Every structure is written in C-alpha cells, then in structure tokens.
A and B are shown apart, each in its own frame.
Chain A
Amino acid sequence: MGLLAPLALIGLITIPIIVAFYMLRLRRPSQPVSSTFLWQQLVRDVEANAPWQRLKRSLLLLLQLLLALLLAFVVARPFSEHPAGLARDLVLVIDASASMSATDVFPDRLTAAKRLAQEQLAQVPSDGRVSVIAAGDTARVVANEATDRGRISQAIESVTASTSASDLTDALKLANSLAKRARGAEVLVVTDDAFSASPDVVLEVPVRVLTVGRERDNQAIAALAVRADPSGLKRTLFVSVANYSGSIVGRSLQILADGVPVTARDLYLDPLTRADVVIDELPPGASVVEARLAPATDGDEPSGPPDYMPLDDAAWAIVPPDRLRRVLLVGPGNVYIQNAFALLPNVELYGATAAQWPTTTGKDKFDLIVFDGFVPPDLPNKPILAFAPPQTSPLGVVLGTLDEFGMGQPAVNDPLLRGVDLTRLHIARTQQMELPAWARAVLPGSDGPLMYAGLRDGQPTAVFAFDISDSDLPLQVAWPIMVSNLAGELLGLNAAALDPLAPSSPIDIPITPDSQGVRVTLPDGTVETLPPGATGASSVTFVTTRQLGVYRAEVIPAPAPSGSPGASPRSSPSGLGVATEDEPLLFAVDLFSSDESNIRPGDGARLTALGTDVPVDPANVGTARDEFWPLLAALTLLFLVIEWLVYERDGARRVLNGLRGLNPLRRSAGKAA
C-alpha cells in the first residue's frame, strides 16, 4: 500500500480546524419568550462564559471528521501493487469493423470489446505506455504512447463502430510499426475474429488476442440492384439475401419505393445459402428502392434464430432515370449514327443540316448534340459528340488531315471502351488533332488522338477525329456498344453510375466550373457543403460516406455567370451527369460485404500466430497499480449525503411528510375517517 500524492495528507490539518469550530462558542441572537420554564429541560447546548466550550458528542462532527479524512485520502491516491500481466509498451488494437456491431453480446460486440480493453488496462505496469488503434474503415491511432490512464480510457471509449469492412491488415501493420519503436513491446488485439481470410501481415512482436462474440446467426441483403431492360420501359429489381446462420430461417423481405411499401416476400433460407429474388413490379417514376429484412412469423412465433446484426438488414438502390432524352444530329445525315442512337431506350433523335443550324430553335431542349463533320463557331453549352471536326474549335485544334498514321493502344479501362474490342478497327482517313487539356485520349494515334473525351466547361464531351464513314467501325459489333457507352457518359445513362458505393468509399461528383460547390444531404438528414477544390474544377470528391443509405447531391449554382474557362484533364470516371437543384444526383451506400455479414466469431489463434513466439521479457514486465480512490470517492459522496441529511433533517422530514400527504391511499383513508 502506498500513496501517489502523500503531500495531500496535509489536508488532514482540516480535522483539528473542524474540532476547533465545534469548540468555539456559538454567538446566538436573543429571542424573548414568556418563560424559559419548559425550555430549560430541553437545552442541548451548554452555555459557557468562556469563548471555548467542552467538546460534545455530535453526529455531525463525527461525519465531518470522517469526510475530511476520506477527502484527504482520495487526493493522496492510495494504491496497492501487483505484478503486471502486460508489457510495459502495449499497442492496443480495437476492431471497429461493421461486424463488431453485432448484438449477440450485450449491448454489442464493440462495447464489450471496449469493456475488455478497459479491464486489461489494470494489467499494464504503472509506468507503461499504451497506444490505441481503432481498426475501422481505416486504421486510426487514437492514443499514442499515452501514460495517463484517464486519457487511454477516454481514447478507448472514443472508438466508434464503422459501417465498412476491415480485415485488420492495416491496423496490424500500424501496430507493428508502433510496437517496434520500443523493446519488449506487445500487441493486444480485441476483435471478434470474424474474417474469412487472415490478415496479410507478419508482426515482429508478440500478439495477444481477446475475442468477443458468441453467435453466428445473421441474415443479410447481400446484393441489390435495379436494371432497366433494353427497351427502357421496365425496371427490374434484383435482390440477393444471404443466410449466414447454421439453421433454416424464415425472413420477410420488404421492398419500398421512395419510402412506400411495394411488396413483401417471405423467404425460407437454408443454412449458409443465398436466395435471389427478382421483382418486376416497381412503380414507374420511383427513384430510390429500399429492401429490408424483417423477421418472418409463423403465427405468433418468429421463424428461426434471431438476426444479430441489423446493419446489413437494409439496402438501397437508385433506379435509373427513365426520362426521355433528346439528341440532335447536325450534319449531312449518317445512317450508322442514326441507327445506333435509335437503338437506345428513351432516346429521341432529331436531325438538322449544317445550314439549318443557325436557325434551329430550342437548342437548349436537347440533352446531346452530335456534330457530324461540322462544328459551329459558337458551341452550345450542352454535352457534345463530334465526328471529324473540320476546323479548330473549342473541341480541339485541327492540324490537318492524315491519310497515313498508326493507331495507338486503346485505353481498355476507359468506361467508353467497356465491352468494346477495337483491335480490328481500320481507319482510312482522319483529322490530325491536338489533345485538348480537358480531355483524355481514349483511342490514341501516332500523330494525334483518334478519339478523346472529357469534361469541357463542365459538359461531357467526346470527339472522334475521323469520320466513321472512313472506317469500318460502323460495321463492327463494337459500334452500338460504343454508342451505348457514349450515351452512358454523355447522357448520364450509364448503369454502372448507379451502382451502390461501399461505405467510406470516395465518390467524384461532377460540377460545372462556375458552380460554388456541392451540397450533399446525408441519410441522417445532415447537410455537408463541399466547395470546389480549385477554381474551375469539374468535380469534387465526397468522402464522408460512412453512413448507410441514400445520399443526395445538389450543385450550388453561381450567383452570377462567371464564364471562367475550365480546364481539367480529369474525366468523370463514374460517368455521372452534373447534378442540379432540379435534378439532384442520388447515390446509395450499402454494406454488401460477406466478410462483415458473416459474424461467426473466431478464437483469435490465427491472429496470435501472426506475432512472434518470443515471450515478453520478464525484465520488461513492471508492476501494476490498483488505486482505491474511486472507492474512497464513492464513500466520501455517501458520507456527504448522510451529513447533509443529518444537517437538513428538518427539511428532509418536511419533504417526507409532504410526500406522505401526497399518498392518495392515505389521503382517501383520511377522508373516509
């Protein structure tokens, strides 16, 4: 037993002071009464002529002396020592992945893990240093070599559950690098060990693992997607429900469109299987579809074991817009282009010659303008697809015409070339063009790009340097696919753009160069405003996608048109159109992770095996302290309350009598009497 702050015992000097106060004679105000005949027999205090009086027995005095004694010892922080169970330098890794939100232990695995970690702090030597790493969507150091127990405890409590998947690899790498700084360090991992694969890391320090979690019963929505059929008239919902439990379960799958229930299906899932559900009856005009898993009931009894992880019981999907898109083809007329666009659903094709262009009205009504061998002097502020621009324009600088040239390697990962094979493409003649700063080369050539695309002043733009009539592209299978891809990028029809994001994944939101940024409404209703990263930027990156649900992005328009020429080589890789206030951009974030939904806890042996077998150096094991001040502080509080009650016993009795008076039974009994 020792004292951490023995100087605090100076506070014991208050004890004689308290006693002195009790011995001092009290100065009392005089109160004339008719007679003191009756009072004389009730006197408690003995009057004395001296300023001091004899000390009397008093409960208040006893309590106050006890309080002073306890307070002095609380501040002095008494402790006892015992051999520490952990190394002097400890790196504590707390798994905060989505599976830690499972509720098979009360209240959930993460809270239980934090409780375990707090208990382990008692095993850390008194002079030990603890680093705490939260292994959520990223590995984050919340305390670095902290020695203050309060700060470590606070850091542990600050760890919050993530909604994303995590396999501890990054966290263990970080822990390894932190532990290597000190000799004889140790890594303590608190996790449910519910990973399909072992983390790909080898640690150079011993690893100790504490596991939480008991059950594996969980059902999840493993996939959710809405796709339009080729006609573009019907929307079909694909749902995949997985049962990670070891027994047959019944669940009700509820589908909501824009928050309104549409249909519900009862599913009976075999152990460790998936069930795919296709639903065709989505209401027209719906923009967001939500799927929920709820317990199916046979009569009054739930069917099967409980679902311990509610996080993956809901998923959202964005319905592809089915608005009619208008495309204007300006040129002499090209049957290949006309046929390719005519095949696209929800696309209406209009035509005009170059001579009719200046007099064409309602140009702003079109969603895409295709210039075939013609470029007007003033380009409309619309998405543009151009074939063989005859002269230099904002679409690109034309250097001349080439009859002999070589084809470069196509950018196969470009979204415009998805499913497109251009290896057998032959081009007879092309315009020699210079790649503009805002564009990326999709099909490079030896003397200039043959095809490029990008965001020009915030407008998706794609340019073919050659006339397709001078190539065999229209005769290939790749042509309608390429046009479909072009429509996806230029008209925002790309189905891939509507695929849900994984939690904590970044997303690029296209903006117009003159806009002031993007306003993103999160699923919980909070609003984040993102200013553009640079003047004239064509997109902003949104990274706060930790919540599961539907996000709504709106571009904040500029107060006055600035007309600043934007130039960015970046494309819109997601293929998203620019969101406006009238037509906001919706995107969903879903937890489709079998690793996280499969909550079967492990025993931590594979994690232990990642560390070294070398035991912790006994010389590096110190002594841990058990402090008693919390107990003493609780006792102090208790005695303080008792002292207050004794001092204010009159008030306490009044309150008690008042409460008795409020008792309706007593009151009614009194009335009856």
Chain B
Amino acid sequence: MKRELLPSSVDPTVFDEAFLRQLERLMLVTKKAVRGGMKGVRRSVKRGQSVEFTDYRNYTLGDDLRALDWNLYARLEKLFIKLFIEEEDVNVHILVDASASMEGGAPDKMLFAKRAAAALAYVGLASYDRISMAVLQGRVARRFPSVRGTGRVFQVLADLSGVQPAPGPTDLVSACRHYAAQITQRGPLLLISDLFDANVERAISELAGTRCDVAILHTLSTDELDPPLEGDLRLVDRETGDGVNVTADLYTIDAYKSRLAAWQARLEEVSTKRRVAYVPIPTTLPLADLVFAELRRRNVVAA
C-alpha cells in the first residue's frame, strides 16, 4: 500500500506499507470457539466443512457419502461419517477511549490509541474477521459500521482519522455499558484507554459481563509515568478543569509513581478476577513491538 494510494480521508501518518505487510502475518486469537455468521477461518462450535477432523458418528440415511470413512469400513465393515470442525468468522470489538484525558502527552496518547486500534483492526481484517469499532466519549459509545476483509482497511483508517478527543468529562462506565448493550455477536473485545476514571473497575466489570475475550490496553504517556514536574504547581485536569496544588519534588514524584504502580496492580488484579487481559502500554512503545511482542506475549494475538 503506497501512501499516495490512501484515500484523502485517511491520515497518512497512521501506517506505512511495510508495517501493514507485517500485520498480515498476524491473526487475532480467540480463546474459545465462537458462533459466527459467515464462513471464516475461526473454529466454530458447529461441525462443518474444514480440514480439521474432530469426531466420528454412525452413518444415517441421507448423509453425504463424501464424508464416509472408507478405510474404517474396510476394517470394521461398518459405515462411519467423519465429522470436521466448522470454520466461521468472528466479530472483533475495538473500543477507543476518546475522552479529553487522552489528549496530549509525549508521544500523544490519542494518536497512539488510533494507530494501535488501526493496527489491531487490520490484523482482524487480515484474518477474515468482522471488525466493530467504537469510540467512547461522554456517556456513550459511538459505533462505526462493522467491516470485513482487508479491502475495508481504508474505511477503518478513515473512521479513525476523524476521531478527536471530546471536551468535557467522560463517563467510562456508562460508555462501556452502552456498548455492551449493543453487542450481538461475541468475540475479542479490545479497549484502548488511559482508564483515568474513578469508576474504572466497574467499567471493566461491564465489559467482562459481555462474555467477550476482553483485553484492556492501558495506555499511558511518559509524562504520566514519570511526570517532569518541579516546584509549586497547580495541576489542572483536562477533562474536568479541576485544579490540584502540589509541591513537586522527588518525594512527591516517588509517591506518585508508587501510587500509579499500586493503581495498575489493582487494575490487573481486578482484570484477572474478571478474566480480562490487562496490558499496560507506554506510548513510547513502538507500534510494531506492541503488536508483535507485547500483545503476543499477553496472548492477545498469535502468529
């Protein structure tokens, strides 16, 4: 894919061709069999046509003679039908937090989230999966039309290009609940967010309740992991506009880091309890490393 071939609605800085070629080798992994609609490359609970053998059953009248195991018949002189696993597609849900807190940071958190979402979406498209993408803003989840097939990648990129952080506070619990209510087909669900919400644990519970394979990509910028602050400051929240007075010194920064680590540990604990994969990601992490190393290590994607 050449950059000049991209539609004008797509941000040309999102991907380059070499990266997309690498993405094609990946496939999103589902931990259990899913029920899908169309033919795909995913294992289905249904028995059907594929190359992967699963079981035998006795022949009954009307069965497809092509499924008879003639070798077994030669040995036992009984007719058995070979059963194969049906392969179907799966619906991959990608939620991008577009709250005001996602704005800023070095590198920019929103940009990182869009690129990560696009990368994961392309992985899904390359695996013949259906991609359902939504942006969490305010109290709702704004869904984009589902897409399938690698040819629709431009649609995904165009959709993501238009996403901008919404001013004002965002209620992550309400937005997640709103999306969960719209899910008709289960599959992998990926939330890309900084999780800066007092009720983030309830949001995780809402997503876990969808019985999808939920993975949370906790995105934090360097400024949030190691704040470059010094002196007496008034910190102003981008979402709420509230201010907090701090005296930033090494002790304060260390206390902040301890608090951050404890918070992340708590989120991981809650996620583990809810069978949710929790992946903390700094925005300095190269996208290739995110997809090929970090998510593979966490078993979110597999080759």
A-side interface residues toward B, CB under 8 Å?
A: 26, 28-47, 649-650, 653-654
Query: In this assembly, does B252 line the interface, its C-beta being within 8 Å of a C-beta of chain A?
Result: yes
Query: In this assembly, does B67 line the interface, its C-beta being within 8 Å of a C-beta of chain A?
Result: no
Chain B contacts with A in 229-271, Cβ cutoff 8 A? 229-240, 242-247, 249-252, 255-256, 259-260, 263
A38 and B256 within 8 A (CB): yes
B224 and A34 within 8 A (CB): yes
Residues on A with C-beta less than 8 A from B210 are: none
Chain B contacts with A in 251-303, Cβ cutoff 8 A? 251-252, 255-256, 259-260, 263
Residues on A with C-beta less than 8 A from B233 are: 28-31
B237 and A42 within 8 A (CB): no
Query: In this assembly, does B203 line the interface, its C-beta being within 8 Å of a C-beta of chain A?
Result: no
Besides A34-B105, A43-B244, 16 other CB < 8 A contacts? Answer: A29-B234, A30-B233, A30-B234, A30-B235, A30-B236, A34-B103, A34-B224, A35-B237, A35-B238, A36-B236, A36-B240, A37-B196, A37-B237, A39-B244, A43-B245, A47-B245
Query: In this assembly, does B194 line the interface, its C-beta being within 8 Å of a C-beta of chain A?
Result: yes
B237 and A45 within 8 A (CB): no
Give the distance to chain A from B39, nearest Cβ to Cβ, in Å: 44
Q: Tell which of A37, A44, A47 touches B243, judged by Cβ atoms closer than 8 Å.
A: A47
Query: In this assembly, does B43 line the interface, its C-beta being within 8 Å of a C-beta of chain A?
Result: no
Q: Could you give 12 example pairs across A and B, Cβ below 8 Å?
A: A26-B232, A31-B236, A32-B236, A34-B101, A34-B196, A35-B194, A35-B239, A42-B252, A42-B256, A43-B245, A650-B230, A654-B250
Query: In this assembly, does B102 line the interface, its C-beta being within 8 Å of a C-beta of chain A?
Result: yes
Query: In this assembly, does B198 line the interface, its C-beta being within 8 Å of a C-beta of chain A?
Result: yes
Most chain A C-beta atoms within 10 Å of own C-beta, residue among B231, B237, B260: B237
Separation of A390 and B211 alpha carbons in the complex (Å): 148
Query: In this assembly, does B104 line the interface, its C-beta being within 8 Å of a C-beta of chain A?
Result: yes
Separation of A653 and B250 alpha carbons in the complex (Å): 8
Chain B minimum-CB-distance residue to A26: B232
B247 and A38 within 8 A (CB): no
Q: Tell which of A30, A36, A41, A44 touches B247, judged by Cβ atoms closer than 8 Å.
A: A44
Residues on B with C-beta less than 8 A from A29 are: 231, 233-234
Give the distance to chain B from A245, nearest Cβ to Cβ, in Å: 65
Query: In this assembly, does B109 line the interface, its C-beta being within 8 Å of a C-beta of chain A?
Result: yes
B246 and A41 within 8 A (CB): no
B235 and A39 within 8 A (CB): yes
Query: In this assembly, does B91 line the interface, its C-beta being within 8 Å of a C-beta of chain A?
Result: no
Give the distance to chain B from A527, nearest Cβ to Cβ, in Å: 59
Chain B contacts with A in 92-133, Cβ cutoff 8 A? 101-105, 109
Most chain B C-beta atoms within 10 Å of own C-beta, residue among A32, A34, A36, A37: A34
Which secondary structure characterizes the binding site on chain A?
loop
Residues on A with C-beta less than 8 A from B240 are: 36
Residues on A with C-beta less than 8 A from B44 are: none
Residues on A with C-beta less than 8 A from B251 are: 649-650
B263 and A38 within 8 A (CB): yes
B243 and A30 within 8 A (CB): yes
B242 and A36 within 8 A (CB): yes
Query: In this assembly, does B197 line the interface, its C-beta being within 8 Å of a C-beta of chain A?
Result: yes
Chain B minimum-CB-distance residue to A42: B255
Residues on A with C-beta less than 8 A from B256 are: 38-39, 42
Known: A32-B238, A36-B244. A42 touches B259 (CB 8 A): yes
Separation of A31 and B228 alpha carbons in the complex (Å): 11
A37 and B234 within 8 A (CB): no
Residues on A with C-beta less than 8 A from B196 are: 34-35, 37
Query: In this assembly, does B221 line the interface, its C-beta being within 8 Å of a C-beta of chain A?
Result: yes
Residues on A with C-beta less than 8 A from B103 are: 34
B235 and A36 within 8 A (CB): yes
Chain A minimum-CB-distance residue to B259: A38
Chain B minimum-CB-distance residue to A657: B250
Most chain B C-beta atoms within 10 Å of own C-beta, residue among A35, A47, A649: A35
Q: Tell which of A39, A649, A650, A653 touches B246, judged by Cβ atoms closer than 8 Å.
A: A39
B234 and A41 within 8 A (CB): no
Give the distance to chain B from A236, nearest Cβ to Cβ, in Å: 81
Residues on A with C-beta less than 8 A from B230 are: 650
Query: Which A-B residue pairs are the 5 nearest by beta carbons?
Result: A35-B196, A28-B234, A34-B101, A650-B250, A36-B237
Chain B minimum-CB-distance residue to A29: B233
B246 and A35 within 8 A (CB): no
Separation of A44 and B242 alpha carbons in the complex (Å): 16
Separation of A37 and B197 alpha carbons in the complex (Å): 7
Separation of A32 and B100 alpha carbons in the complex (Å): 12
Residues on A with C-beta less than 8 A from B235 are: 30-33, 36, 39
Give the distance to chain B from A35, nearest Cβ to Cβ, in Å: 4
B102 and A33 within 8 A (CB): no
